[in-house]
Amino acid sequence: MNGFWKGRKVLVTGAGGFTGSHLARRLAEEGATVRAFVRSGGSRRDLPQSVELFDGDLTKPGDCARAVDDVDTIFHVAAIFRQIAGGREILQAVHVDATGMLIRAAREAGCRRFVHTSTMGVHGHVRQGPGNEETEFGPGDDYQETKLEGELLARRLGDELGQAWTVVRPCGIYGPGDTRFLKMIRPIARGRFIMIGSGAPHYHFVYIDDLIDGFLLAGERADAEGEVFLIGGPSRPTLNELAATIAELLEVRPPHLRVPAGPLMTAGRVCEVLCKPLGVEPPLHPRRVAFFTKNREFSIDKARSLLGYDPKIDHREGFRRLIAWYRQEGLL
């Protein structure tokens, strides 16, 4: 703790989610007065009592205006991830339209800094890694496309209105409390994991505690204003290396089965087309296949240099903690 956040009023959108709830709790620990924007009827993630809960709808201008009242810093974390119901329209509403409403409200309210959450996914496949903040964009689906549109809107509108902003592009977020990687860890534990494709692409992770450090630095450092930062961990393993590490941590044989990616990607796209009209999640999602085929390897030198960002948890230690939590929760 350096005392920067003590007494500051901070708004965190998406505070009912994994990342937003961790950020809200950490800010409260740092002495900030935290207002957590949570979706009406949505999760609260056991936020501490000191956190003010703001029930609202990010797609309504009035709710956005009330949420930012008397706020020093806004961390816009809210996102819709891998949801078929509502289609692209709901992604557009939350990732783009709500961003515009929030940043206009922030300027009107005199907020000091607007920290916008993007994603490393805006870069798509990094042909020659490691990539950096200037690597060409290549979003591969509706989620990534609308996240990119929202980021570019935040930057453009912030400049036009004179609202100070910073963009954080997190790498693959993980840690205790998140269950997304059960789909990989559980099959490895049971000896049933099948690698899709070669396993050669890199995947850059960021442990949740390191990511929160990056968020706080992005919100407080003067050099962060008007800048974009990729926030990742200290290691970026290949998928083969990751699978072997998980197997070692589980004390099971490393997986050896693999299937070609092409046919599965085609099947995933067909499933998505068939499931969208029904409003149900496809059994095989193209994003699931893309995880195994796209190279996501990035440099975090800019964050190290300008923010003093220094991630501590590499993928081995992070997955050790994650596996321990899964076991504690009876998920493995």
Q: pLDDT band for position 62 (50/70/90)?
A: very high
102 within a domain of the structure (yes/no): yes
**Which CATH number belongs to the domain containing residue 83 in this structure?**
3.40.50.720
33 within a domain of the structure (yes/no): yes
Give me the domain span that covers residue 110: 9-175+205-233+297-312
193 within a domain of the structure (yes/no): no
Coil vs helix vs strand at 11: strand
Asked if residue 43 has pLDDT above 70, the reply is no
Q: pLDDT band for position 82 (50/70/90)?
A: low
Report the pLDDT averaged over residues 143-154. Answer: 96
Report the pLDDT averaged over residues 223-244. Answer: 97
Q: pLDDT band for position 307 (50/70/90)?
A: very high
289 within a domain of the structure (yes/no): no
> 288 near 299, Cβ under 8 Å?
no
- Each residue's pLDDT tens digit, 156-166: 999 999 999 99
What is the pLDDT, as a whole number, of residue 175? 97
212 within a domain of the structure (yes/no): yes
- Each residue's pLDDT tens digit, 157-196: 999 999 999 999 999 999 999 999 999 999 999 999 999 8
From 254, 205, 101, 241, select the one nearest 163 (Cα to Cα).
101
- Total domains in the chain come to 1
259 within a domain of the structure (yes/no): no
Coil vs helix vs strand at 306: helix
252 within a domain of the structure (yes/no): no
36 within a domain of the structure (yes/no): yes
